[in-house]
Structure 1
Amino acid sequence: MPEPRRRGLRRLRGVAPGSTGAPPAHAAVRTAKLAALPVGYAARRAAGMRRRALGRTAHEVELDIQTRTAQHMFEVLGELKGCAAKLGQLLAIYELALPPELGTPYRTALGRLQDSAPALLPRAVSAAMADSLGEHWRSRFLEFDLRACAAASIGQVHRGVWRDRRPVAVKLMYPGVRESVRTDLDQLRRLAPLAAVLLPGADMRALTEAFADCVLEELDYPKEAATQRIFAAAFADDPDFAVPAIVHQHGDVIVSEWLDGIALPRILASGAPAERSRVGLLVLRFLLSGFARTGLLYTDPHPGNFRVLRDGRLGVVDFGACTPFPAEFPALVGDLADAAYNGTPADLEAALRRHGFVAAGTEFDREAFAAMIDPVRELLLPHTARMSTAWLREQVRRCTEPRLTNVCRQLTSPPEYAPIGRTILAAIGLLCQLGTQGPLRDELLTPLPELAAALERFHLGQDPLPRDPVTGASRSATPAPRTVCARCTSIS
């Protein structure tokens, strides 16, 4: 192939000429590339003003700026991989919170990060496989495709056929990604104090370290393989889910059975509403039943990690982001749910303080918080509910509204709950993306009996908590009459 054409193909794949496709690991290089994002945006803004002066409409100029900025973000975040690409994956879901006229260019570019990123070139793949499996690594396979079939934040996947004739997926970590991730985390730690401007009540350093621990665990492929074995055993022969068995693991390579199905991004793009809802409910059921069966929480529910198999089951891959489920979490859910459904705003504040979500000695606008969570409470009242991007957009707007009096600024989060927070946020984004409609309440109540008990008391009009004579965070021990919404029915 002529060299000019080869260079062109590399540019299309996001690989610079002369590069192997591996992410840059040097701190100065990564910092410079990230710094180029706001600089490039400012330059496009300045150029836009000149184009408007030459007669271009404001709408045309703004759309061009957004499209170019989104493409720039994709290129930089995809090349850097590691934490930067994980940020891109999260943005690809939460750009749904933007108004439609602003979010479209970002949806197009960032959405590509959910299941793809610039891939390693074949010579780099061969070298990386040899580093982990030895010089004669090819003898382990009957077939091996040097072209990646999927690429993500810290590794890419290749199709192959194992020596026992099983089709396999080979997950290969990018060379140098450990250094890249540590560089990104160091930058994140330096930025943590700035985030306190938005959330002054939160211990941002502790939350940053909790996030860093989660990310670093994803670099441990032996641990990931062990975790996947646990999930594969727990979901063996399950009628709803498929977890591929581990075939082999060594070094920075994981070989597992191949799952042949439709990638979830395709369902998002063209699936019928009924199928999208069915898949959304399956995702929710997997997350909730996973910790009940294994004691582990699956914390990375983004679209690239799910497949819909021909028999209708939901296939799940990538078990690097799993963490022990906090034993105290069900009790926390029951306590907060009792306060939210059966108590007063004072009860809700008391429960939040007991569990460390409002720091001691800080003010808290209990009435504003009670009003803010009303849309979430209402999701669990009817048997059938629907989640949508419009609903998500409104909740994100309310939580992030830049007012000093925004009650979200008064909240914090215990670091031990950071993985759960990550899971909840990503799952809500995905379910809204799918437009999930169905018995959300039933899916939540089955593995969380404490939540079910709180909702049952609500529907029966019972009042379980004693009165506090000092704070007024209370209700009488005698059941108080309550008017139940006509669309709600008893949980039975």
Structure 2
Amino acid sequence: MSEIVRRRSSRNAKLAKIPLGIAGRAAVGFGRKLAGGDRSEINAQLNQKAAEQLFTVLGELKGGAMKFGQALSVMEAAVPEEFGEHYREALTKLQAAAPPMPAATVHRVLDQQLGTKWRERFRSFDDEPAASASIGQVHKAVWSDGRTVAVKVQYPGADEALRADLKTLSRMTGLLSSVIPGADVKPILAEITERTEEELDYRNEAANQRAFAKAFDGHAEIRVPKVVAGSPKVIVTEWLDGTAVSKIIQRGAEDPEGTRELRNRVALLMGRFHFSSPETVGLLHADPHPGNFMMLDDDTLAVIDFGACAPLPNGFPEVLGRMLALAVADRFAELTELLHENGWIIPGRTITDQEIADYLRPFTDPIRTESFHFTRKWMQRVAGKASDISSPEMKTARALQLPAEHVMIFRVLGGSVGILAQLDAEIPFMQLANTWLPGLREERSAS
């Protein structure tokens, strides 16, 4: 692939292959079943082909298509086991892989963004990309002062592609939901669309990363690489060598017992990072997928890619902590009143405290004990209940709304829980929440 596909018609044609391919294979599969073929074997083959096609199309297109795929990949733990194996492999590939753009294109972008004498700013520059992502790829280089650096270069045309994809994908949410069982694609697409313009300007990412690097400078457990230089389409940061969390998840599947301690350590550090960031930095890292985290040789967690961040200058909203404290204490009458007061219940709708209690019950396991073991089985059960349109809980859900100021927080929470389930890790979830959530600390202390 020489360039990112820019024309909307061309991108739409590629995206259309997904539903057309699925429909065609389903018809063939139905015919083979009528002819006496083994149902389970045929279904497995159909799932594998659909997963392979999904990865191929979303990965090749990059842009919004791949960004959407990466967001879905975090939730692969919620995919039921009968679909899991094939989708898991295809989706997790999207966390760090995409066909690279050629060196000549990279050089052209660097000419435009860092000046035609950009080579003088580097001692060396590796034309082979070290990693590829949705709207850019990363090259390893040595800066003029001798520091090894990561140079992220945005694909030419990524802005047009991103906007075109999100419009197209938003019209395909029903079908995509059926392709990826257990994933609620509408809010994922809405959130990506909301943050599109911010992420396309790497100067925003540089500002976010500088804030995180300053706040976590000298931290005993968390590392954030410093920003060396930046422009709208190129960002240069310190290079860190480590093991991507996606690799640790893979190793955990191959050797559950031998990696248990490491997986729990990763999960604990990720939890500390996400819970502490709003109070420490005034920002929340809002792109939780395993490709953005690495474990370093000194047993610390490195965090990269700060393109998507939610501003929380006063830390987490106090009301969230109060809600959690009331749920922990089973004080659902007070919780229902608090939801009404803060715009979580659609005006004009009536919900009883018992309905709120029944609705929340599948989600509250992690807050029932100080420590909780997040597993795929647990997440599949929760996702199954949450997507059962015939259940009484779904009637309650239709009367609820998520206030705009909390959307990013819950997006990060959902993604982080997805990673914890992929890690099959146990962490002191309530201990972390109690330490960093205002409102929860005060409510529990008063109780």
Q: Confirm or deny: 8 A CA contact 1:276 1:434 kept in the other structure.
A: yes
Query: Counterpart of 1:145?
Result: 126
Q: Confirm or deny: 8 A CA contact 1:207 1:415 kept in the other structure.
A: no
From 414, 419, 425, give the equivalent of 1:436. Answer: 425
The reply on whether 1:36 has 2:36 as its aligned counterpart is no
- Residues in 2 aligned to 1:237 and 1:61: alpha-carbon distance in whole angstroms: 55
Q: Secondary structure at the match of 2:243?
A: strand
Deviation at 1:384, TM superposition (A): 2.1
Percent identity over the alignment is 37
From 204, 228, 245, give the equivalent of 2:209. Answer: 228
From 72, 89, 110, give the equivalent of 1:108. Answer: 89
- Residues in 1 aligned to 2:246 and 2:222: alpha-carbon distance in whole angstroms: 18
The reply on whether 1:270 has 2:251 as its aligned counterpart is yes
Q: Which structure: larger Rg?
A: 1
Query: Counterpart of 1:164?
Result: 145
More deviation, 208-217/176-185: 208-217
TM-score of the aligned structures, taking structure 2 as reference length: 0.90
From 95, 100, 103, give the equivalent of 2:76. Answer: 95
- Residues in 2 aligned to 1:387 and 1:150: alpha-carbon distance in whole angstroms: 29
1:53-202 matches, within 5 Å, as 53-187=34-168
RMSD, aligned CA:
2.5
Deviation at 1:188, TM superposition (A): 5.7
Q: Secondary structure at the match of 2:99?
A: coil
Q: Secondary structure at the match of 1:115?
A: coil
Q: Secondary structure at the match of 2:151?
A: strand
The reply on whether 1:403 has 2:384 as its aligned counterpart is no
Q: Confirm or deny: 8 A CA contact 1:211 1:419 kept in the other structure.
A: no
CA deviation map 1:213-246 (0-9, x unaligned): 3232111111111111111111111110111011
CA deviation map 1:369-418 (0-9, x unaligned): 31232354342342322111111111111111122741222221112222
From 263, 266, 275, give the equivalent of 1:288. Answer: 275
Deviation at 1:336, TM superposition (A): 1.2
More deviation, 431-440/311-320: 431-440
5+ long unaligned stretches in structure 1: 1-14, 196-203, 463-492
More deviation, 397-406/349-358: 397-406
CA deviation map 1:28-57 (0-9, x unaligned): 222222222111101011112333345531
- Residues in 1 aligned to 2:11 and 2:103: alpha-carbon distance in whole angstroms: 24
Q: Confirm or deny: 8 A CA contact 1:214 1:419 kept in the other structure.
A: no
From 300, 315, 326, give the equivalent of 1:339. Answer: 326
Query: Counterpart of 2:180?
Result: none
- Residues in 1 aligned to 2:264 and 2:118: alpha-carbon distance in whole angstroms: 43
2:333 aligned partner, one-letter code: A
Q: Confirm or deny: 8 A CA contact 2:213 2:225 kept in the other structure.
A: yes
Q: Secondary structure at the match of 2:75?
A: helix
Query: Counterpart of 1:371?
Result: 358
- Residues in 1 aligned to 2:230 and 2:270: alpha-carbon distance in whole angstroms: 27
Query: Counterpart of 2:306?
Result: 319
- Residues in 2 aligned to 1:365 and 1:154: alpha-carbon distance in whole angstroms: 45
TM-score of the aligned structures, taking structure 1 as reference length: 0.82
From 414, 428, 436, give the equivalent of 2:403. Answer: 414
Classify 1:188/1:39 alpha carbon distance in 2 versus 1 (closer, same or farther; 3 Å).
closer
Classify 1:274/1:248 alpha carbon distance in 2 versus 1 (closer, same or farther; 3 Å).
same
- Residues in 2 aligned to 1:205 and 1:311: alpha-carbon distance in whole angstroms: 40
Deviation at 1:189, TM superposition (A): 6.2
More deviation, 248-257/323-332: 323-332
- Residues in 1 aligned to 2:260 and 2:191: alpha-carbon distance in whole angstroms: 37
Deviation at 1:139, TM superposition (A): 2.3
Q: Confirm or deny: 8 A CA contact 2:279 2:314 kept in the other structure.
A: no
Larger RCO (CA under 8 A, 6+ residues apart) = 2
Classify 1:213/1:91 alpha carbon distance in 2 versus 1 (closer, same or farther; 3 Å).
closer
Q: Confirm or deny: 8 A CA contact 1:339 1:351 kept in the other structure.
A: no
5+ long unaligned stretches in structure 2: 177-184, 253-258
Deviation at 1:205, TM superposition (A): 11
Q: Secondary structure at the match of 1:169?
A: strand
From 446, 457, 480, give the equivalent of 2:435. Answer: 446
2:437 aligned partner, one-letter code: L
Q: Secondary structure at the match of 1:373?
A: helix
1:428 aligned partner, one-letter code: V
1:114 aligned partner, one-letter code: Q
1:431 aligned partner, one-letter code: L
- Residues in 1 aligned to 2:50 and 2:132: alpha-carbon distance in whole angstroms: 22
Classify 1:449/1:262 alpha carbon distance in 2 versus 1 (closer, same or farther; 3 Å).
same
